[in-house]
Structure 1
Amino acid sequence: MFIGTATTILEWQGIRLMTDPNFLHAGDHVHLGPGVQGTRKTNPAVDLHDLPRIDAVLLSHYHADHFDQDVEQSLRRDLPIITTPHAKSCLTAKGDDSFTAVEDLDFFDSIIVDINRTSESGDEDDGSKGEGARPAFRVTGMPGKHVPPGPLSMANDFLKAVPPTNGWMLELGSTSSLPGDPAASEERFDCGYRIYISGDTLLVDELKEIPERYKDKNIDLMLIHLGGTTIPGPSIPLLMVTMDAKQGIELVKLIQPDLTIPIHYDDYDVFMSPLSDFKKAMEEAGLGEKVVYLDRGDEYKFAVK
């Protein structure tokens, strides 16, 4: 389900993962860097306090339009969060108010997501009952750069104005290992569906490593962050920090997913590249049949092999 901006809920086998939770409403503001503010133009499809149970969060980076102040105050502190090393340092440095189940992944690091679920009887299901394979997720950090290489990147490294960001490769499948054995879980993991989530990145050379690493593995779906986000804003477009339509179509050609769903393109007033530009580029490239467009609140259903 597409909630809005970069927020989605991915559900499979009764487990729900949420990406980049942002639940502010139209007119609310976020801080995006020194002297930079964004104003939300839309409402999320679901209000924060009306969410179904969420089992884990994939947080691409610690930026208020991806993890807003209301979310930070409201999420339970033991909610598993998978994120960047930078974001982990922020989320776990709040004293008694710190998040307590944060895992960080650098580029191409992986983790098997092993979530205990509660059955209808109230008993905790740790996956150890019975024999054979059980559902599992594998999350791998993918490269991402919010700031183009060169002098601006070096300046940002010093000023820490724009945080480091990840993409993700999310693999849905099964493992035959017992819970609590990460090495065996990785070795015995079989993937049935693969989702690449670009995160807030520009089209940088580091992304070329993705098709090299997955050249013999099909990528079923790509969630691509677009919008051509500009700092401080479209009226003074000094710096673009997410892909516009031109870069987005090049990423589609590079990754070659079976299907692409664009997200993160019109919810804030800092977006310069409208979704219509990406639609036009996909049609002109003959890729119109390989994209699905979701309005906020729409769902896309897929089958895991």
Structure 2
Amino acid sequence: MPRTVAPARRHSARSRRLRLTAAFAVLVAVAGYLTVQYVTGGTSSDQCTVESADGSAGDGRTYRMSSEQAANAATISAVGTTRGMPERAVTIALATALQESGLRNIEHGDRDSLGLFQQRPSQGWGTEKQILDPVYSAGQFYEHLAEVPGYSRLPLTVAAQRVQRSGFPQAYAKHEPDAALLAAALTGRTPASLNCEPPRSTAGTGGMTKVRAALVRSFGKDVLPATDGAGAETPAAGAAAGALSVPVDTPLRSGKGGTAQRGWELAHWAVAQSEALGIDEVAYAGKTWESGSGWRTERKESGTTSIRIQLAR
């Protein structure tokens, strides 16, 4: 005769299995999250440094990062300002990327999370290829942030969480000071505050075509002067072989910063991208950045209508 199991015992066993399954799922999620944090929080070469406006006096804030992180941060900032987003939005985006990926464009994460913001294809953020494109993923973040009512007045953790739906929303808060420092530099509000020292062995690996393409990808097609039908630069766009002059008086700059802030935004973008694009020198407003030596003040004040980008000679 079959053994009869009491309903109460069957219910207890089923509840115990459900609790164990739920606990296992939580452990898997936490393990995935910790794996991402471990991988993205590892050591880096710290080739780039951002200082606050009073950093030279020794009492300012400093943030160090790799060339890869600087390039990704500059892309996030450029996409935001090109969309007309304020500096606060850039700060929120940078803090989110610092927490989610350590500003690295990683190809793994919790479940199917990918990229700078750990966006998930299964949740409608785009295809894997799209999400692993920093310009696309930053654009998606800003698109969702813009839909959050009053996001600029919300605490950073609240604004970021409305976009991300993270299981660890309070984790964004610890990145706010660094993100604000980065945003001030990358939006151009603090002149000559970003310095990178890319290894000389990688200089010259870009090519001006690659530099122009990266500028247009980050800032839009109007960032550069018109080209002829063959795609060649007009004389005003190239000052010399291996050099590019980028105008700063464009309609892309929104807000109160004006032309000077736009110029420093472009200059800092070029410095941040120096290793990836083989940029050797950036000059704007009487200051010149050179790979291996950083920023210096020129004896003769240069103009503020354009920045000059020079590849390695």
Relative to the length of structure 2, the TM-score reads 0.28
Larger radius of gyration: 2
